[in-house]
Structure 1
Amino acid sequence: MLQVFTITGPVFIVIAIGFAAVRWGFFAKSDTRILGKFTINIALPAMLFKALTERPFAEILNTRYLLAYALGSLATFAIGVAATRFFRHRSLQLSAVHGMGMSLSNSAFIGYPIVLQLLGPPAAIALALCFLVENLLILPLALALAESGGGNGESALKVVSNTLLRLGRNPLILAIAAGFACAMLELRLPGPALRAIDMLALASAGIALFVIGGTLVGLKIEGMRGDIAYIVGGKLLLHPLAVFVAVMLVPPTDRTLQIAAVTFACMPMLSIYPILAQKYGREELCAAALMAATVSAFLTISAVIWVLQAGMG
């Protein structure tokens, strides 16, 4: 178990440093948004592009991984929505918000640094494939369902199309598309360009974790403990279990990618979860759930990695 903490410990130490830096005034909370923009728009796209162009196209486009991760995430979303709607008797809109929190992982800011330490370079390939499932399938579906249940007069089809149009301008999606294209055509950039991309890629993990810590400052959980526990339980327990079952049913040929899929599903929800829920008046609940999940994830991720490593042995 000590070996597991050597993987997860540094990640959460950097998160704690980010929290302390903002809490003690070394950085303003608004500063973390600037760092977050740099990470999500520059550093992470550079890392993804670099990883995708370093491997053969047949190796990076792993359809069985995509199918397994998609099935597990869809199952989690469907269970979360159905349980909220029919057993907890909440609105369809709130049910969609709950399902979103349970099925969308913080793959980039927390997942990648952990999986990188656990598995090495294949972590970037797995991250790119997770991004495709999360951004092209689960997120548009969740937003469309939330809109259709809110009576805002906007059709689900329009929500999906607008979401996909915005994603078409997302630097992460553009980096994945460019990386796939270069890998398929076997194109290689000149040495200076590759070194510049490598320098930016190296900055992604540490800054991302620091930003997560800073965003947790000031979040409160009072008065919403039942809903918070429900969302956090779905994210940290149900989602990894559903992806594990899907991986057993449709196993990726590479054992490393099987482990990556389950590990990415263990991560807390994506850091923009409260922002996505703001339109529906649920930002406080989602911010509190994000904080609780991020803190609790240290134990759950460590436990899952210990089980996976025991299985590998």
Structure 2
Amino acid sequence: MQALIDVILPVFLVIGLGYALVWCKFLKDSAIDGLMKFAQNVAVPCLLFKALAEIDLTTGFDPKLLSSFYAGALTCFCLGLFGGRHVFGRTWEDSVAIGFCALFSNSLLLGLAITQQAYGTGDALAGNYAIIALHSPFCYGVGITVMELVRARGAGTSLARLPKTVLRAMFSNILIIAITLGFLFNLAGLNLPASFQSALDMIVRTALPVALFALGGILYRYRPEGDLRVIFFVCALALILHPAITFTLTAWSGVSDAGMRSAVVTSAMAPGVNAYVFASMYQRAQRVAASVVLIATGLTLFTAWFWLSILP
């Protein structure tokens, strides 16, 4: 109970405040959009750049940690894909979008915030940043590749353009650009001048609070609608199966306690807003994706409490 009160509840109170202020018309959608644009395009990229420019690559990027997390994510994607098609009778294109919802955990806004609140900063977050560095490239790479393959089936469409499509989609993302620059600074051993570093630190401190607040405002727009069986199927994959696989694999492979905490907490997070963005890119299963993001985010309040209670 103490973990719920001290660690998880503050994060969701910030989200809830954003939701409530939009609900009572105190803030307009345009204000929330501006805050989220600042968070996603400025503050969060600065956070990722700084973290990856300073992270110890020899300890943060543990192959056992990363393989445990992404094995769980890929398993959930496959189950979401084939479950959507063969259990719920959705089209292949809809099923890819459903699988993407089960694949894309909210590793940054929720996973990083809750891990930081529970275990502090510094080495406690090294595993989080390692997962985040690969998260968007991995998830979009898988999702776009499978969607393009599905769309091309039987249509005589050339697959020669597939690598270009995937790379263009990934490297037009400001978060991936920031991650790449952070890696380059790290590998080159570069440092920013003190004045630039201080300015960067000021922006970084706003990243998570502003993003969480804006996330609450954006969630107000979503309404639970569509096939509730599909929605709760995806919630079960994302909130129960993914962290269960990650927990089992990290324990079996001997990942450090700090690495296990980062991997399991991140895998236990609800699908991020990018799940809805992906569905909107292809105009597929949008109602399901929007509902999953909303409902699973609420359920994370309780599932995260459970996983925090059993972690070392």
Separation (CA, whole Å) in 2 of partners of 1:166 and 1:139: 8
CA shift digits 1:203-233 (9 cap, x unpaired) = 0110111111101113222452212111111
Query: What CA RMSD, in Å, does the superposition of the two structures yield over aligned residues?
Result: 2.2
Identity across matched positions, percent = 26
Q: Deviations over 1:173-201 (max 9, x none)?
A: 22222222222232222111111111111
Q: Deviations along 1:38-89, whole A, 9 cap, x unmatched? A: 1112111211222223343323333332222221211221222223333334
Change (3 A) 1:168 1:138: same
In the aligned structure 1, how far is the partner of 2:159 from the partner of 2:279? 16
How many positions carry a matched residue from both structures?
Answer: 308
SS for the counterpart of 2:161 is: helix
Q: CA deviation at 1:6?
A: 0.8
Give TM-score, length-normalised by structure 1.
0.90
Structure 1 residues 87 and 285: alpha-carbon distance in aligned structure 2, compared to 1, 3 A threshold: closer
Instruction: Using the TM superposition, give the Cα deviation of residue 123 of structure 1 relative to its aligned residue in structure 2, in angstroms.
Output: 5.4
Alignment of 1:21-170 (within 5 A): 21-121=21-121, 122=123, 124-150=125-151, 158-170=161-173
SS in 1 for 2:220: coil
The CA distance in 2 between the partners of 1:150 and 1:303, in whole Å, is 39
Q: Is the Cα–Cα contact under 8 Å of residues 70 and 133 in structure 1 kept in the other structure?
A: no
SS at match of 1:203: helix
- For normalisation by structure 2, the TM-score amounts to 0.90
- Output the CA distance in 1 between the equivalents of 2:116 and 2:41: 20
- 1:271 and 2:310 matched: no
Whole-Å separation in 2 of the counterparts to 1:81 and 1:130? 23
Query: Residue 59 of structure 1 aligns to which amino acid in structure 2?
Result: T
Per the TM alignment, residue 155 of structure 1 is displaced from its structure 2 partner at its CA by 5.5
C-alpha deviations, 1:251-277, integer Å up to 9, x for none? Answer: 43x320111101001111011322221
Q: Is the 8 A contact 1:140 1:159 kept in 2?
A: no
Q: Which runs of 5+ in 2 are unaligned?
A: none
Decide whether the 8 Å contact of 1:144 with 1:156 is kept in 2: no
SS of residue in 2 equivalent to 1:109 = helix
What SS class does the counterpart of residue 105 from structure 1 fall into? coil
Query: How is 1:201-216 mapped onto 2 (pairs within 5 angstroms)?
Result: 201-216=204-219
SS of residue paired to 1:188: coil
What one-letter code is carried by the residue in structure 2 that aligns with 1:201?
V
Mean Cα displacement is larger for which, 31-40 or 123-132? 123-132
**Aligned partners of 1:11 and 1:129: how far apart in 2?**
22
Distance in 2, Cα, partners of 1:268 & 1:160:
29
In 2, the alpha carbon distance for the partners of 1:142 and 1:157 equals 17
Distance 1:59 1:180 in 2: 14
Q: Verify: 1:283 aligned to 2:280, yes or no.
A: no
Change (3 A) 1:161 1:132: farther
Counterparts of 2:163 and 2:77 in 1: how far apart (Å)? 16
- The range that moved more, 196-205 or 84-93, is 84-93
Amino acid of the residue matched to residue 141 of structure 1? V
Contact 1:19 1:217 in 2 (8 A): yes
CA distance in 2 between partners of 1:166 and 1:65 (Å): 26
Measured in 1, the distance between the counterparts of 2:34 and 2:247 equals 36
